[in-house]
Amino acid sequence: MLIQFRFNNYKCFKNETVINMVASNYYREKMENLIQVPQYALLRTAAVYGANASGKTKLFQAFNFMREIVLTSADTQSNNWQKSYAPFLLDTYSADLSSVFEVVFLMDDIQYRYGFELNSERIIAEWLFRKRSKEIKVLEFEGGPSVYYNEKYINSKIIKNLEEAKMFRANSLIISSLSLWNDELSLNILNWFRRNNIISASLNTMAPRILNALELPKMKAKMIEFLRSADLGIFDVTPNEISTDELPDEIKRMLPEDAINGPIVSGISISHKRYDKRHLPAGYAKLSLEKDESYGTYRFLSLAGPIINALETGSVLWIDEIDNGLHYDLVRALISLFQDERVNVHNSQLIINTHNISLIDEADLFRRDQIFIVMKDRYGEATLIPISEFSLRETAKVGRLYREGRFGGVPYLEKLGSNINK
């Protein structure tokens, strides 16, 4: 479970930014929206609001950047984090400064705090602490030739062998390197990051997500049932495969050798019921998801697998622009799945960003500490602020106050179109 994520100097976030999933002690409302752990309560869901270009998506990208560098920095073939590293560029000095990324999370009922500092060229520092009753240092690297490690939690033979072989590289995280040699704690930490799923709103990512889910028979069956329960009239989803024999020779020459003799996926087919003149069932009709279905259906289908997986595994799911293409009632129902302890039995967490202010107005959906606002100032610097930092009466209409701009995070539109007829 995610407790806190903090970072600085990444894209439009210049100063330290924190998204904290620890529930406020001041609110006693909607206690079912919380996961009770020994020391505190955690939010099941969090919603991030803000104007267009305020930084909502960049917040999700910051976590995804941290996730990707943890998972790939030790792999010499896929380690290219320097290309995706993006410090704040709207001043004259931040690009030359370092960036910090740190996450606090629960794993096997133990709290871990893991983070690192880097610049455009190398890893500057890295640290790992664990806490049951008090915080204990497990690993620390501060740019020198040696690494501090606690032999109780880190396999000393592995780390000594890596040090002697000089296999700790300046652009690779130590935790990532240790995992390649099967250090148990490092493997578990990488698996925690791997189980965080960040869903982009990009159209290009939707088809691969659907096809990956369809490869698993049990997941496919659950996805189809999920689609039926969403009242979309869909009864089957299958990859649309064609034989390579049907392809022109010039296309065949472009394919990898191992793909020449197998089928090629050319899209996704959706099955709907078909009826005769008397409106009696007459089998099924296959339609193209890409050509015949709405964007909303495409979008929902691409979310079905990750949502089911998160609820089954108790992982953290980040969905960028959850309301993009989906009906309001459907979005509300998806959020409610994560807040229903009868469905979310494994304590999965959902973090979304959205423009749909109506969700705030729902009396039984969000606590006030579940809502965050991103705003950007005149210098292009984004700030993330939880609604719980504002002094509000218990009866305050949060949605109305947000519309009025009391919290920031809304666009200034008074001059929109003012020059059109000049």
Residue after which a domain boundary falls, among 314, 343, 371: 314
Residues 174 and 321 in one domain: yes
| Sign of the dihedral defined by the CA atoms of residues 301, 307, 313, 317, in that order | positive
Q: How many domains does the chain have?
A: 2
CATH number of the domain at 140, please: 3.40.50
Residues 48 and 95 in one domain: yes
Residue after which a domain boundary falls, among 265, 296, 314: 314
Specify whether the CB–CB gap between 326 and 318 falls below 8 A: no
Residues 135 and 182 in one domain: yes
Sheet of 197-199: strand order equals 197-199, 316-319, 349-353, 45-50, 371-376, 382-386
Whole-model pTM: value is 0.89
Mean of the per-residue pLDDT values of the chain:
86
Domain extent at residue 33: 1-196+317-422
Residues 54 and 191 in one domain: yes
Residues 176 and 33 in one domain: yes
Residues 354 and 340 in one domain: yes
Residues 212 and 90 in one domain: no
Residues 44 and 75 in one domain: yes
Confidence of residue 422 (pLDDT cuts 50, 70, 90): low
Residues 251 and 191 in one domain: no
What is the arithmetic mean of pLDDT over 78-82?
Answer: 80
**Residue 69 tokens, joined:** 């560098």
pLDDT digits (tens, 9 = 90+) for 235-246: 888 888 766 565
What is the arithmetic mean of pLDDT over 357-369?
Answer: 86
Residues 401 and 370 in one domain: yes
Please name the residue that has the structure tokens 């959020």. Answer: 335
- Dist CA 364 CA 382 (whole Å): 30
Residues 337 and 305 in one domain: no
Residue 414 pLDDT > 70, yes or no? no
Please name the residue that has the structure tokens 């993330």. Answer: 384
pLDDT digits (tens, 9 = 90+) for 17-59: 999 999 988 888 888 999 999 889 999 999 999 888 888 999 9
pLDDT of residue 421: 62
Residues 357 and 310 in one domain: no
| Sign of the dihedral defined by the CA atoms of residues 404, 406, 410, 413, in that order | positive
Residue after which a domain boundary falls, among 274, 291, 314: 314
**Residue 149 tokens, joined:** 């490690």
